[in-house]
Structure 1
Amino acid sequence: MGEFMNGSRASTRVELKDGWMLKQAGDESENAWLPVQAVPTDVYRELLANKKIADPFEDLNELSVRWVADQDWVYKKHFGVDLQAVSPGARLDLVFEGLDTFATVYLNGKEILTSENMFLSHRVNVNDHCRSDNVLEIVFDSARLRGQKLLEEHSHEHRFIARQTEDGRIPVRKAQYHWGWDWGPILVGTSGPWKPVYIDCYVARIDDIWVESQFSDDLKDCSGYIHGNTAGDLNGAKVSISLTYGGEQVFRTECVVGTDGSIKCPFAISSVKLWCPQPYGAPLRYRLDAALYRDGTVVDEKSKMIGFRKVELVQTPDASGKSFYFRINGTDIFAGGSCWIPGSSYLSELSKEKYYDWIELLQRGNQNMVRVWGGGIYEDDAFYDACDELGVLVWQDFCFACGNYPAYPSFMQSFELEARQNIQRLRSHPSLVIWAGSNEDYQVQERYKLHYDYSDKDPQSWLKSNFPARYYYEYLLPKVVQEEHPGAAYHPTSPWGDGKDTADPTVGDIHQWNIWHGTMEKYQYADSLGGRFVSEFGMEAYPHLETILSAVTKPEQQYPGSMTMDFHNKAIGHERRLVSYVAENFQLKTDLPSFTHLTQMVQAEAMSYAYKHWRRAWGTHTGTQGQPIERKCGGILVWQFNDCWPTMSWAIVDYYGIRKPAYYSISRALKPITIAVSRTVRDWSKKKMNEMLELGQVDPTTEAREGTVYNVWIANSTGVVAASEVKVEVRFVSIKTGSSVLPTQGRAVQMDTNSTTDVWKDQVGPLNADLCDPTKPFDLDKYDPYIIHATLYLQGIRTSTDTAWPEPFKFLDFADRGLKFKKSGDKATQVIITADKPVKGLVFEETRVMRLNDNNFDIVPGEDVLVEVEGVPLNELRYTYVGAPVGSIKIDFT
């Protein structure tokens, strides 16, 4: 290893990336060892690269690789070290940033490390073991079988419950989704060094550097302490620390390293530049640099980007219960975004560039928060770096999900170290604004009636109950978070309602699964299903056709409901749930392109209803002087943003990064300034027909006879706008003819900042005079349903539109829409779409190489839609819309 330069006293790191081999433990055959592409990696990736298994993401191949999880696996690498080039007194450490999961490490036949926690990093001094030629071996035991063994060992002291997949995952500190979930495959055999392995040569080093800060009342000045930890030969060591903004150094100091290796330097900055989430400001950052000196020579350096911001989780009693929202830098923040699951079943394939692309995609969709779900991992630094840079807030769960976790000593000790390591690693990221103890573990407590007495405040008694993990969520983690990340917001679990029912909509956060799961409420009733913060809800949909066909490769299986299609949809009861939502709302078509589009429309409409109604509950000014706005809903996070494999799921963006139509619905609903319109939705399918007939709510002709009540409002997440007085127009357009059934209504409105502004409230739309007499038979030929189309003009520019349709869509006639496509001037990347009659849900079929600035839109006569297209020629575009004669139509510019 010539990288250890002659006599150099500086730290040197050499990554052990290439030259590894892999074999199944116990296989002594001649061809047992397989070449490894590179580390980080896992067994599936290498078996696939060596053509030893079929691709688990295709067809039913997941079943054919189940054997992998029940085997032990060995990785081996030879590497050299030029010991003569290593400085006298220097240390040689082997560093393993992540080993998945039960690993024993040998160097030159000597055991140097055992690990039973995927989420831990390890540093091992190997000065006494290193030679000029070395053999490094890592033996990985089967995590699935070790989990089964742990169940047997501890069954007398703990009731293991896994609400998803097998109980054996619960005692294993490994990404829980590897055991499968209701959106992902069972691929437990991901054994391997899933993060980098390297050898570190140093005399002294900086382990960590981070900032603890506080602000003046006006937030103009920032002060506090810069902390750090060092290791090695620290005799006479000093550290130089500086803060730089925009290339200008704004702070510099030098301090002596403590005898325990610690660093603590006071700092102060005037006129501090604050980090803000979008769209509330710019995510401004400083560079923090530290240099460690011995005898006047720099022996190690560390640099990171940091941000200064003041975060408050506001939970105060109000008229609706108790609030739950974030206040950052003194500004109330509406958090609109998504829940994030790991971006692949093969974690080691996720590069820095992929992470950035994912977060940029989320941010471009006007989302400003992402929740890292507890059944996955503490994500790579690149994930949080991207969030920092792009102004996206992070909600971070600790890695517990949907289970009853034990608290025997070895488990607790491992988890506490896991928590401390990952808090230390992530605490410098300004984007990370809250830690949560788990995902849905208190729902497990409720469902299985595990002991829980909120009035009991003795943590030791919790350990003796059959719900001992309460000790983590309500005692250990709050303590550890404050010790390692002082001042950080902490939430015991998600969802959590201050020890009340986890579904209580008046306090804390909720997971609203009575849309899709539970009672399968109509998504049209989302406005009555909200809470103080909705941290999960969702609706399933198929991905675009390219992704479906990549996973279901056999033509004879490429139809809705085939064995392979159903196998890839892991959601329990997905057949009846998905078809029910489609059939309730749309004319059911079962060819693959049409059915794909209909499922996407169900998801997109559910997102539109939920986001715009719950965002409306962010708060409306009362007009009373001095009265604060009641923040009835502080945020919305859809389940889920992404997938870990190509599949049908709740994701709004599929495994390959292809956006579903719902992505665009959310993007429109979360625009910094946007218009929204709603109208009466009558339940056309209630079971208690006699009761509902008395209320006039099951008769599909009621709206035509009695009119519809509509509301129009503006949602504004900005504090300052160029012109606070805006213009709003509302049109009533016949679906049959495309003509207006009432003159356009216009109104100038004084738009409120960082809140919602009602423009029209509980207005009655036009009636159909020919159908108003209830004593006469309903003449369907005279039924002329209309859309309500609202437009917001800001400084005379059409800024936002929204359309409310009479529902269900299956009652409407979408024939002869008069759709027209034309290229915009000489530009080969722009398409202008117009229609003679209203069009619902026009969707271009997206692919991996395509990027659109907009998709899934309604088209209203008299208004055109311009779409920017990148990656494919315009004449290759295919599209469909609700009621289209066939499922996928090639664009025609003639």
Structure 2
Amino acid sequence: MSARDAAQLAQGQSAGTPAATTTTASCPAIAPGVAVGPCELAGDWRWLETLAGAVQTPAELAPDAAWLPAPVPGTVAAAMRAAGRWDDSAPPPLHRHDYWYRVRFAGSGARTLRCNGLATLAEVWLNGVLVLTTRHMFAAHQVAVQLAGDNTLHLCFRALHPWLRGQRGQVRWKPRMIVPPALRAVRTTLLGHMPGWCPPVHAVGPWRSIELLDPASADPLHGVRAEVSTQLDGTDGTDGIITLTLHFPGPAPAQARWLAAQGDDEVWGSLARTGTHVLAGTLRVPHARRWWPHTHGDPVLYRVEAHLGTQALHCAQVGFRTVEEDRDGEPGAFALRINGERIFCRGACVSSHDLPGLADSDEAVARWLRLARGAGMNMVRVSGVTCYPGEAFYRCCDALGLMVWQDFMFANFDYGADPHAARGLMDDAAREVGQWLQSTRAHPAIAVLCGGSEAEQQAAMLGTPRGDWRQPLFDELIPGLVARHRADAVYVRNSPSEGAWPFQPDTGITHYYGVGAYQRPLADARLARVRFAAECLAFANVPCARTLREHGLTQPLHDPRWKARVPRDAGAAWDFEDIRDFYLRALYQVDPPRLRYERPARYLALSRAVVAEVMTDVFSEWRRVGSTCAGALVWQLQDLLPGAGWGIVDACGRPKSAWHALRAVSQPVQVLLTDEGLNGLHVHVINETAQPRTVLLTLRCLRDGEAVAAQARQELALRPRESCRIAAAAMLDHFFDFTYAYRFGPPAHDVVLATLHAEGDSGGVPLSQAVYLPDRGAGALAAPELQGSVECVQGQWWLRIGTRRFARWVHIEDHAYLPEQDWFHLGPGETRRIRLMHESGPDAATGPIPSGEIYAINAERPASYGA
């Protein structure tokens, strides 16, 4: 019997079947909160791959083994990438081998070893002794240890696939999208286990930090963990209350001072010892400024610091806000109110900002979240099929004013049929959810907490009886923990949920793919009476020409790598490119297969355009005055590999056409057009800001994309948070068939253009613009006659675009620069001045001169500019 098996048996478990957590020494209580004092175990970390089960203890490792440098925290995939042994297009199957990590360090005496995330079947060996085993990726574990001067710590990550083959249990349904279905038996991410959805990149390794806590440290900041929460005063709601608790590995100081600061305003208070290892206190912030989603106000944050002697400890950035569920007194309704204001939530689901490494750094997350905010989004969702982000993600969302819809990492599976397995699962879930809630209490961005993803939907769609759709995990355990630790957030038991079917669009939370995978007409976005779409509008979105060229994906027909990057549902005979082609045929009246092989460049351009058009139409419908919809989150924000993936931003960080379209239709001050059939066009003007706005609305109906067939102007004074709806017919003093619904003779126009300008700025850049086309056919409009020129102003390049006639879906392909604005419409005689940004950062003095082409889908040939 191996030493490893003997240690397991000594802890009362079967050899070869690790418990969720097993220790060989006493384990102190895990302090909640976030580490704010230095305590990470530093050193020369190394890693080694071995055959599954070939090495049972560190003593059996070959002395001449080729150990390689390892980033910690990090993953095996990140270590392979650093060693030049990783290929994004063909990731190795990491669950078939064991992986060992090693670090040597000095120290004597009692310590506490804390592992904040080990993926997934993990053993921890200190000086040859097994001190911890776990099969829980999402929970932190710690153990009391005794150091021996010169120490060696080994971490072993056992092969998951062989272990899963031995797992059996009673289930009422098996999800088809997750491979293998036995993953239900272990707490690990589903990323890498969804063929057609995600590359097979497996999470293995110490993906979160390893800490060594010294209770006798002379450093007063060593190992301190901060638990911070906020609330608004219950009497009038104007004062903010901050509660700070500091947990020390050793004896806490008798007292300390602390402050909350916003700009130059500071409020000071005292911390007092409330336990041997704890300092705690509360602060009242008079007339606290509120945190808002950036679309509706400023995301105001207060800096919280503790001062221990002469040293300052940054504990958190906090914000004050209220979040309420708004049912609007109507069956099936669901909306959010932030600080009492009803918010239309728009955004996207995030997959992983670093799939191989699962990195938790400001650099890793900031560019993706800035792109989300730049598209006018005010919410991002972390789905239950992904992985909990780190602190950097939530800090960035706080600062950018992005609300977070957070699923817990439970998805699709039956978690309650097997009573024996369910008991262990509930213990694991309580540890996981409780730790996560306590560590994220400081973040005002977290608005919605959701039990998990598609568990109820999966049960219903796979034919189980209605009584089996609900599970105690989502109905009892998780909501109880949320009520205890984060009662300031809205809890939703599952996404989707409610309704006669759990995924019914007109009740509660839905995943809406009527427009999309189910190939419904655009009118279904209204017919379905969507309430809140936590997922929607998944398409195979084509990246820009530069990304395709850089990655050898310029032939959508002939290269098998193209189809390998197109997402698909498990077992389906179609993929999401087929869905896009359906709308290309239906809206643009072209034959996609023929166009693809005869004119592939035209096919790609129209493919990009049609997704932009669908996004614009559906979000216009959902944001209009009188809509039943209170939120919609696109699936997804970013691609995981270069290609026509779900992302509205490609894997290189370049926005796609869908991103630009969503940006144009998601502004806080917005004009929208909706086709109301025989009622003509309705114009919807929205002011989500806290300030009154006076705007000028201009409506033009164009014939041949140039001549004005009818026009009107109206000045509007909008109160804060006010929206209004205007019948276009009321803006004219004579009949005009805006939608060509009455069909009295040939159409009098081919374009309707609604433009919103700020008061007194009718000739400047519009605040918002909306377009209606009676005929959407790709060949319906006359050529625009585009012109373009570039100029350098104060070290920055600008592109000026003009057009004689209406230009539909103008887009720019520059050889070295990215346009700040792309995929937009341009009215006759209008010009648009667009900043060109170089990806590598040089200014105009040292960078190349911009050159490229300006396209529109109604242009016979592009207009060139630059060198």
Same fold (TM over 0.5): yes
Report the equivalent of 1:729. 698
| Aligned CA distance change for structure 1 residues 264 and 649 (closer, same or farther; 3 Å) | same
Quick one: which amino acid aligns to residue 546 of structure 1?
R
Pairing partner for 1:661 from 657, 662, 669: 657
- Does 1:36 pair with 2:69? yes
Report the equivalent of 1:719. 690
Instruction: Give, in whole Å, the separation in 1 of the partners of 2:326 and 2:739.
Output: 48
- Does 1:570 pair with 2:561? no
Judge conservation of contact 2:532–2:629 (CA < 8 Å) in 1.
yes
Q: SS of the counterpart of 1:13?
A: coil
Quick one: which amino acid aligns to residue 81 of structure 1?
A
Instruction: Give, in whole Å, the separation in 1 of the partners of 2:79 and 2:300.
Output: 41
> CA shift at 1:345, angstroms?
2.1
1:437-836 correspondence to structure 2 within 5 Å = 437-453=451-467, 470-497=471-498, 500-518=500-518, 520-523=519-522, 525-540=524-539, 541-552=541-552, 558-560=555-557, 562-572=559-569, 573-574=574-575, 575-586=577-588, 587=590, 588=592, 589-590=595-596, 591-617=599-625, 619=626, 632-679=628-675, 709-723=680-694, 726-734=695-703, 736=704, 738-740=706-708, 742-761=709-728, 765-766=736-737, 785-797=749-761, 798-814=766-782, 816-824=783-791, 829-836=797-804
Report the equivalent of 2:398. 388
- Does 1:882 pair with 2:861? no
> CA shift at 1:108, angstroms?
1.3
> CA shift at 1:220, angstroms?
1.7
Report the equivalent of 1:213. 231
Report the equivalent of 2:58. none
Judge conservation of contact 1:515–1:539 (CA < 8 Å) in 2.
no
Judge conservation of contact 1:23–1:33 (CA < 8 Å) in 2.
no
Instruction: Give, in whole Å, the separation in 1 of the partners of 2:85 and 2:715.
Output: 68
| Aligned CA distance change for structure 1 residues 790 and 183 (closer, same or farther; 3 Å) | same
Quick one: which amino acid aligns to residue 631 of structure 2?
G
> CA shift at 1:229, angstroms?
5.5
Pairing partner for 1:312 from 311, 324, 330: 324
> CA shift at 1:680, angstroms?
5.9
| Structure 2 unmatched ranges of 5 or more | 1-35, 56-60, 218-222, 839-846
Report the equivalent of 1:56. 88
Pairing partner for 1:201 from 214, 218, 226: 214
> CA shift at 1:662, angstroms?
1.1
1:410-421 correspondence to structure 2 within 5 Å = 410-421=424-435
Instruction: Give, in whole Å, the separation in 2 of the partners of 1:233 and 1:201.
Output: 7
Q: SS of the counterpart of 2:161?
A: helix
Instruction: Give, in whole Å, the separation in 2 of the partners of 1:160 and 1:767.
Output: 52
Q: Identity of counterpart residues, as a percentage?
A: 21
> CA shift at 1:148, angstroms?
3.1
Instruction: Give, in whole Å, the separation in 1 of the partners of 2:152 and 2:63.
Output: 19
Instruction: Give, in whole Å, the separation in 2 of the partners of 1:331 and 1:13.
Output: 42
Quick one: which amino acid aligns to residue 688 of structure 2?
S
Judge conservation of contact 1:208–1:230 (CA < 8 Å) in 2.
yes
| Aligned CA distance change for structure 1 residues 213 and 263 (closer, same or farther; 3 Å) | farther
Report the equivalent of 1:372. 382
1:126-275 correspondence to structure 2 within 5 Å = 126=145, 128=146, 130-150=147-167, 152=168, 154=169, 156=170, 159-188=173-202, 190-203=203-216, 206-223=224-241, 226-228=243-245, 230-234=247-251, 237-258=254-275, 261=277, 264-275=280-291
Q: SS of the counterpart of 2:686?
A: strand
Superposed CA deviations along residues 727-779 of structure 1, whole A, max 9, x for unmatched, are: 21111112x36222x2321223343542421122567644899x9677xxxxx
Instruction: Give, in whole Å, the separation in 2 of the partners of 1:477 and 1:327.
Output: 22
| Aligned CA distance change for structure 1 residues 496 and 873 (closer, same or farther; 3 Å) | farther
- Does 1:75 pair with 2:108? no
| Aligned CA distance change for structure 1 residues 481 and 790 (closer, same or farther; 3 Å) | same
Instruction: Give, in whole Å, the separation in 1 of the partners of 2:349 and 2:252.
Output: 48
Judge conservation of contact 1:40–1:348 (CA < 8 Å) in 2.
no
> CA shift at 1:382, angstroms?
0.6
Quick one: which amino acid aligns to residue 729 of structure 1?
T
Pairing partner for 1:327 from 323, 333, 337: 337
Q: SS of the counterpart of 2:548?
A: helix
Instruction: Give, in whole Å, the separation in 2 of the partners of 1:221 and 1:119.
Output: 36
Pairing partner for 1:24 from 50, 70, 74: 50
Instruction: Give, in whole Å, the separation in 2 of the partners of 1:227 and 1:158.
Output: 45
Report the equivalent of 1:113. 132
Instruction: Give, in whole Å, the separation in 2 of the partners of 1:839 and 1:143.
Output: 55
- Does 1:13 pair with 2:9? no
Instruction: Give, in whole Å, the separation in 1 of the partners of 2:132 and 2:311.
Output: 27
Q: TM-score, normalised by structure 1?
A: 0.81
Judge conservation of contact 2:729–2:736 (CA < 8 Å) in 1.
no
- Does 1:435 pair with 2:453? no
Instruction: Give, in whole Å, the separation in 1 of the partners of 2:70 and 2:436.
Output: 28
Q: TM-score, normalised by structure 2?
A: 0.84
Judge conservation of contact 2:680–2:739 (CA < 8 Å) in 1.
no
Instruction: Give, in whole Å, the separation in 2 of the partners of 1:359 and 1:451.
Output: 41
Q: SS of the counterpart of 2:442?
A: coil
Report the equivalent of 1:892. 865
Instruction: Give, in whole Å, the separation in 1 of the partners of 2:311 and 2:744.
Output: 90
Measured on the aligned residues, the alpha-carbon RMSD in Å equals 3.1
| Structure 1 unmatched ranges of 5 or more | 1-9, 84-89, 454-465, 620-630, 682-706, 775-781
| Aligned CA distance change for structure 1 residues 743 and 230 (closer, same or farther; 3 Å) | closer
> CA shift at 1:179, angstroms?
0.6
Report the equivalent of 1:865. 832
Judge conservation of contact 1:336–1:367 (CA < 8 Å) in 2.
yes
Judge conservation of contact 1:175–1:375 (CA < 8 Å) in 2.
yes
Q: SS of the counterpart of 2:427?
A: helix
Judge conservation of contact 1:343–1:655 (CA < 8 Å) in 2.
no
Instruction: Give, in whole Å, the separation in 2 of the partners of 1:891 and 1:13.
Output: 58
Quick one: which amino acid aligns to residue 511 of structure 1?
H
Pairing partner for 1:843 from 808, 811, 821: 811
Superposed CA deviations along residues 598-646 of structure 1, whole A, max 9, x for unmatched, are: 22212211111121210114x5xxxxxxxxxxx7322221111112232
Instruction: Give, in whole Å, the separation in 2 of the partners of 1:768 and 1:854.
Output: 29
| Aligned CA distance change for structure 1 residues 183 and 157 (closer, same or farther; 3 Å) | closer
Instruction: Give, in whole Å, the separation in 2 of the partners of 1:350 and 1:174.
Output: 17
> CA shift at 1:370, angstroms?
0.9
| Aligned CA distance change for structure 1 residues 883 and 149 (closer, same or farther; 3 Å) | farther
Quick one: which amino acid aligns to residue 562 of structure 2?
M
Quick one: which amino acid aligns to residue 839 of structure 1?
A
Judge conservation of contact 1:538–1:650 (CA < 8 Å) in 2.
no
Quick one: which amino acid aligns to residue 776 of structure 2?
P
Superposed CA deviations along residues 793-832 of structure 1, whole A, max 9, x for unmatched, are: 2212232211111233235144x32110123575751111
Instruction: Give, in whole Å, the separation in 1 of the partners of 2:252 and 2:727.
Output: 73
Judge conservation of contact 1:94–1:125 (CA < 8 Å) in 2.
yes
Quick one: which amino acid aligns to residue 296 of structure 2?
Y
Report the equivalent of 1:702. none
Report the equivalent of 1:696. none
Instruction: Give, in whole Å, the separation in 2 of the partners of 1:561 and 1:611.
Output: 34
Judge conservation of contact 1:524–1:606 (CA < 8 Å) in 2.
no
Instruction: Give, in whole Å, the separation in 2 of the partners of 1:393 and 1:867.
Output: 29
Range with bigger deviation, 133-142 or 109-118:
133-142
Quick one: which amino acid aligns to residue 709 of structure 1?
G
Quick one: which amino acid aligns to residue 13 of structure 1?
C
Judge conservation of contact 1:343–1:643 (CA < 8 Å) in 2.
no
- Count of residue pairs the alignment pairs up: 786
